[in-house]
Amino acid sequence: MRRFLLSISDGRGFDIGLVSVPLAFLFAMAGLPLIYNIVMSFQEVDMFSLGTFARPFVGFKNYVTLFSLPETWPILGNTAVFVIASIAGQFTIGFGLALFFWTGFPGSSWLRGLFLVSWIMPGLVVGAIWNWILSGDFGVLNYILRESGLISDNIFWRSDPDFSLWAVVIANIWLGISFNMILLSVGLSAISQDLYEAAELDGANVIQRFYTITLPMMRSTIGAIISLGLIFTLQQFDLFAAITAGGPNNSSNVAQYWAWDLSFRQYDFAQGATVSVIMIVFVMIASVVYVRSTRHEVRG
């Protein structure tokens, strides 16, 4: 007993104790649910069998049912559009801003810090603000677009099936600019200035320098940021809950919202788990790409 206590306070037991408790906690709270999720996707779950573990297994029936639903493919398509449009917008604007602030002028680092505000705001608050800005009759965005002559009639962003998904995309781009910009800034500041001086002496202009130095030097950073953007975009739930709730008629529904909607609105936990399993596979693939592109950092 004494040796055991001594090991806890002054030996290998100290390290093992420190690391095993949190890992056990994470396994219980994240690992087991992950396994349970897969199990449920092969079971028949309804309100009556919710409280028991002994539920009938139905094989791949849930998956077959899922892909025979008429809304499945449109929702998966929406998810792809949402992810690609969000990442394209966030990355382009974020890269532009990062390059702009990188030129360096008095006050640039302070002003750049302001662009991080959206990162720490609760998603529901961001959603509420954009819900109001995008409002059809009285929204300020419609007013700006009308006055600048881009549109003649108001766009009903939240209730028009052609625009509802884009309403969420706009809000999500605003939300995601900050992390793209700051991580790209970090990558830019790591490029040696000597390279640019040498290129300038050789007579390369700004555009040539961007394509021959900045982009190649940033390749691993860009890869990491795009896979991180994919991960964050697939986590986006709050904006859907706050702006469109997936509607009208699923036109702005995406898989991560649909999974929740199936479980907690339609109480179809088996279908919810099935959608979850499919999406988690996608997220896992993205995170493997991310971990590989930052491995040198992870190892220290």
Residue 165 interacts with other proteins (CB under 8 A)?
no
The site map against other proteins for 260-279 (x = CB under 8 A) is x--xx----x--xx-xx--x
Contact status: 221 vs other proteins (CB under 8 A)? yes
Residue among 98, 169, 218, 286 that touches other proteins (CB under 8 A): 286
Binding other proteins (rule: CB under 8 A), the pick from 1, 29, 54, 150 is 29
DSSP state of 69: S
Under the binding rule (CB under 8 A), the answer on residue 290 touching other proteins is yes
Question: CA-CA distance, 260 to 210, in Å (whole number)?
Answer: 43
The answer to whether 234 touches 279, Cβ cutoff 8 Å, is: yes
Q: By C-beta, is 92 or 212 nearer to other proteins?
A: 92
Tokens for 164?
Answer: 């509802």
- Could you say whether residue 203 binds other proteins (CB under 8 A)? no
- Kindly identify the residues of this chain, within the stretch 168-197, that bind other proteins according to CB under 8 A: 174, 177, 179, 182-183, 186-187
Q: Tokens 């030097």 appear where?
A: 217
Query: Which positions from 55 through 94 interact with other proteins, judged by CB under 8 A?
Result: none
- List 125, 151, 206, 215, residue binding other proteins (CB under 8 A): 125
Residue 43: strand pairing partners? 57
Sequence letter at residue 53: F
> What single string gives the DSSP state of each residue in 203-268?
T--HHHHIIIIIHHHTHHHHHHHHHHHHHHHHH--HHHHHHTTT-STTTT--HHHHHHHHHHTS--
Does the protein bind other proteins through residue 206 (CB under 8 A)?
no
Q: Distances in Å between the alpha carbon of 72 and those of 18, 133, 234, 255?
A: 45, 30, 17, 9
User: Residue 127 or 212: which CB sits closer to other proteins?
Assistant: 127
Q: Which residue has the tokens 């993205």?
A: 286
Q: How many helices (H) and strands (E) does the chain have?
A: 18, 0
- Single residue of 82, 91, 95, 101 touching other proteins by CB under 8 A: 101
C-beta of 85 vs 290, nearer to other proteins: 290
Of residues 46, 60, 67, 108, which one binds other proteins by CB under 8 A? 108
161 counts as binding other proteins under rule CB under 8 A: no
- To which residue do tokens 């917008």 refer? 89
Q: How far is the CB of 23 from other proteins (least distance, A)?
A: 7
Q: Which stretch binds other proteins (CB under 8 A): 59-67, 73-81, 201-209, 280-288?
A: 280-288
